[in-house]
Amino acid sequence: MPQVRIIAKNFMDMVAALPAMKLDILYENPFICEAILRSLPPLAKKYVTQMLFSEGSITAKLLEEWVLPDGSTKHRVSIDRLVQLRIFTESVESGRKKEKSYRLNPTFQANLQKRITTGGVLPREPMPPSLTGRLPSLEELEKYALEQWECFLLHLINSGQAEKVTSFSPSMMRVFQRGLLSQSKDPKLTESGFQFLLMETNAQLWYIIREYISNSEERGVDPVDLISFLLELSFHMTGKAYNLNTLTDVQRSTLSDLADLGLVKLQKGRNDSWFIPTKLATNLSVSLADSSTRKQGSIVVETNFRVYEYSASKLHSEILRLFSRVEYHLPNLIVAAITKENLYGAFENGITADQIVSFLQQNAHPRVAQRTPSVPENVTDQIRLWETDLNRVEMSPAHLYDDFHSREVFEAACDLAREWSGLLWEDSDKMRVVVKAEIHQNMRDFIRGQRQ
């Protein structure tokens, strides 16, 4: 989905904004170098891999010759990204032409070479089964991660619907809710919040992690340490146990937060404690580059505006409730109806008709996803028409005056209302006029003055 690319780009913008010294600290880790390489545009990856084992610099003119004429825009984007991340250092050769040239960051180059040729060694090795005993199976771990993530999302949408209580502090929950909920006494999902719910899980995760990193300095944590640990965590093995004693205090605190998100599972033994990464954690660096994955849909929309979602998830039910009326919630089926009233509520909350239609299309059940269109046209057309109808009517406070003692006073009042840009409606026959609330006091004073 396009949102994955946007979130990944925003995360890499955070990395690019780090001071040069801190970027070099990041690049001292071979695994971080590989994660950064994965995040680059395809053309940028080509430049890095072709220059990886060569010494010296490459002129800008020579680099342009590696690209077909129609790829000039992608070429500029790739060069800009490499320079922003300090993977490329730019120099201008002295002489008449003053030609630009580029070379790889020596720290990045050396450590990426090490990762590719020797594989590199992670700071910690999995614990032996003799110390941990039986660990959760991959199926159990995936179920745990899904439950934790859905519980967290339910807390964002409606904490009353979540079965578990997270250990996040109120201040930490506000960090995660930033931009997703309106800042009011009765917080509601914003347009960005609804877009967030439409994203793939990896994109949602990177959004949350980006906010988590952005807030790190307020918690006294260096964002470089946090970025390094999160990217490094993605190279661990799913389902393996890693000793918590190998971590710093900051990393242990981070893992406690990640456990609530479903990225890791924390366990204790008699003598040791350990963490077990789930797929959410080990797919982190992959999700920076891979935006082609698409979860299998489960929604069927009928021409009578009925919606059937083959799911037992409370989260899915709450998402449907944002723009439809949920009628039944069976063990493996949610039945809802798209109604005018529910759609009006969605529109008032900033959700657009196009977002709703896009959501239904993207999450269509495989059997209906093969059809064209996957959502009946009468349903999509009606959703858009109801949005148009709502936008045609504008509600504003107003006042009606209908007891004028003479036509002269009535006409003078209408003229003043026009002059003050507050006239909404007038009936000359019955001498009635409706004006905007902001000119009510002036209008009342004028009429009272005419009666004296």
Question: What is the model's pLDDT at position 1?
Answer: 41
The 8-class DSSP code of residue 396 comes to -
Q: How far apart are CA 401 and CA 378, in angstroms?
A: 44
Show the low-confidence residues of the chain (pLDDT under 70). Answer: 1-11, 93-97, 120, 158-172, 184, 186-187, 198, 285-295, 393-394, 451-452
pLDDT of residue 305: 96
Task: Report the CATH architecture of 2-118.
Answer: Orthogonal Bundle (1.10)
Q: How high is the pLDDT of residue 381?
A: 95
Q: Indicate the domain borders of the chain.
A: 2-118, 129-289, 299-392, 398-451
What does the block give as tokens for 431? 């001498």
Phi, psi of 114 (to 5 degrees): -60, -40
Q: Which fold has domain 398-451?
A: Alpha-Beta Plaits (3.30.70)
Token reading at 239: 């389902």
Write out the two tokens for 34: 């590989």
Question: In the sheet that 88-92 helps form, which strands lie side by side, from edge to edge?
Answer: 58-59, 100-104, 88-92
Distance of CA 420 to the CA centre of its chain: 45
d(CA 264, CA 238): 9
CA distances from 194 to 153, 207, 219, 222, 381 (A): 12, 13, 28, 31, 21
User: What secondary structure does DSSP assign to 58-95, as a single string?
Assistant: EEHHHHHTTS-GGGHHHHHHHHHHHHHTTSEEEEE-SS
User: For residue range 277-335, what is the model confidence (pLDDT) as tens digits?
Assistant: 998 888 776 655 554 444 578 899 999 999 999 988 888 888 898 899 999 888 899 99
Prediction pTM value: 0.69
What φ, ψ does residue 262 adopt, rounded to 5°? 90, 10
pLDDT recorded at residue 144: 92
Q: What is the pLDDT of residue 97?
A: 67
